[in-house]
Chains A and B, each alone.
Chain A
Amino acid sequence: MTTKQLALVIDLNVCVGCHACVTSCKEWNDGGSAGPLSDMNSYGKDPTGTFFNRVQTFEVGEFPDTETVHFPKSCLHCEEPPCVPVCPTGASYKRAEDGIVLVDYDKCIGCGYCAWACPYGARELDPTEKVMKKCTLCVDRITDELLPPQDRQPACVMACPTNARLFGDVHDPESVVSKAIRERGGYALMPEWETRPANQYLPRRKTEPKA
């Protein structure tokens, strides 16, 4: 538990479902080390393309007692990533120094097996380049020493207007992400598969009107 594990913490209590993280992710990664990210028929009948991050919307409860939950989803950088050991080429790996799960696009043969092995649907085979792609936590950005320190954060985190996305080292108990998880009931998705996702989610809270 001593080595670093970088991760995102997503605050479902404040996400408003604006998709700013989706577009800024696509924009950054289209030109960064993971790019280009395919886009086909963008304005046509059946648009399709590769995205690392999506914002989904769920309705919880029975009308009229319903709640709308906006739910951003990207690779969770699992601590026990089932997608890594199945890869026959070693293209999929988890970085020892910071726990980011990455794909080496020069080694990947595009067999798709790692996508079968991810319960969260976080991996997409790029239809143009025919290799597997997924969230890199903006590895080329967060490690870029030419950027001012406050900009060394994933593009989605920088773009979020409500600060629903926190970024940091979940193995450091004093980091902003660890504190948020501790103090606000952070939880993991699909704990039943024991993948131990590094990314966690903060639950919605009831706030009584103050007037």
Chain B
Amino acid sequence: MKPAWSVILLTTQIGAAQGLFLLVFLLNIFKTPPREFVLVSCAVSLGLLISGLIASFFHLGRPERAWRAASQWRTSWLSREVIVLPAFMGMVALYGLLIFFEFEKNISIWVGGVAVLLCLALFICTGMIYACLPFLQEWRSPLTLVNFFLLGTASGLTLSVPLAVIAHPQFVGPLALGAFALAAVAWAVRIASLVRNARLRPKSTMASAIGIAHPRIVQKAQGFMGGSYNTREFFHRRPDLLVRAVRWSFLLLLFPVPAWLLGWGGGSLATFIAAFALQFAGLLAERWYFFAEARHPQNLYYQAAS
């Protein structure tokens, strides 16, 4: 598949936002972090959600009709995501306001709890958009959901470390440790899905595509000399070397590099910001690869211009 930047920016940013919110909500229940830390985190989370939502509009041919996408929640995971994302944004904003106006803790916990449910639902919707398509075999796996969840929460946790430096220095150590551990788990699971996908055998073949049982079938003409939607949307057309370079770079940037900065970077604000920035760059590369790796069976029909 051709990587779609709008969707890459949507999924990576909302993933980090979801992770950050989950963390802050849990901290606010079990510890009592200063109000500033909670407020800053909610604001950053909301900012990322808004920025992700804006990016997603660039994916649409007719963005002015986007509201229609909320109507098919009974059957479409995309429609469900379209409902859950703004609902989650609203609850994060409300939670932040309750904390800001120092409402009773009971109320904020209830509101935050609803936000947590929406947050988890959003992870499921986003992952299922990809995992529900049976013939995109690289995506058709529970690992797709697990990866979206782990990479999102890990990046959210990494993001919380520089925020803690600003608003709640006592937490820097434990948060950095948590970010380190979660990134390690996310990294390991992502490697597991790479291993799984490397072993996949495509179920569709030339023989099943045109229905002629013969081991050697070659396309001589796809029916046109120029390009079409089919030749643009489903092929990334990048050299193998680049695709492999992207894979190695995200494997380094998701865990080893930020882990080193978190643990042995000297503990300054700048190194923690760098840790998040580099991990996020790794996430962008990871999501790019996620698309590039998926082989759509329609490509069997578009092998040769003439």
Contact of B302 among A121, A127, A201 (CB under 8 A): A121
Q: Are A86 and B78 in contact, with the CB atoms below 8 A?
A: yes
Kindly list chain B residues whose C-beta atoms are within 8 Å of the C-beta of A119: 135, 204, 296-298
Given contacts A121-B301, A190-B204, contact A71 B210 (CB under 8 A): yes
Given contacts A89-B68, A190-B208, contact A59 B218 (CB under 8 A): yes
* Stretch in contact with the other chain, from A47-55, A138-146, A168-176: A47-55
The smallest C-beta distance from B77 to any residue of chain A, in angstroms, reads 7
Kindly list chain B residues whose C-beta atoms are within 8 Å of the C-beta of A111: 59-61, 69, 78
- Residues A45-78 near B (CB distance < 8 A): 46-51, 54-62, 68-69, 71, 73
Q: Are B224 and A131 in contact, with the CB atoms below 8 A?
A: no
Kindly list chain B residues whose C-beta atoms are within 8 Å of the C-beta of A55: 223
Tally of A-B residue pairs with Cβ under 8 A?
174
* Stretch in contact with the other chain, from B27-35, B89-97, B227-235, B274-282: B227-235
How many chain B residues have a CB neighbour from A under 8 Å? 57
* Stretch in contact with the other chain, from A1-9, A102-110, A153-161: A102-110
In the bound assembly, the distance between CA atoms of A114 and B76 in angstroms comes to: 10
How many chain A residues have a CB neighbour from B under 8 Å? 62
The smallest C-beta distance from A131 to any residue of chain B, in angstroms, reads 6
Q: Are B69 and A50 in contact, with the CB atoms below 8 A?
A: no
Q: Closest residue of chain A to B139, judged by CB?
A: A116
Q: Closest residue of chain A to B299, judged by CB?
A: A121
Contact of B134 among A62, A193, A203 (CB under 8 A): A193
Residue picked from B70, B79, B82, B301, most chain A C-beta under 10 Å: B301
The 8 closest A-B pairs by CB, nearest first: A110-B61, A130-B61, A121-B298, A47-B226, A54-B223, A88-B79, A85-B75, A88-B69
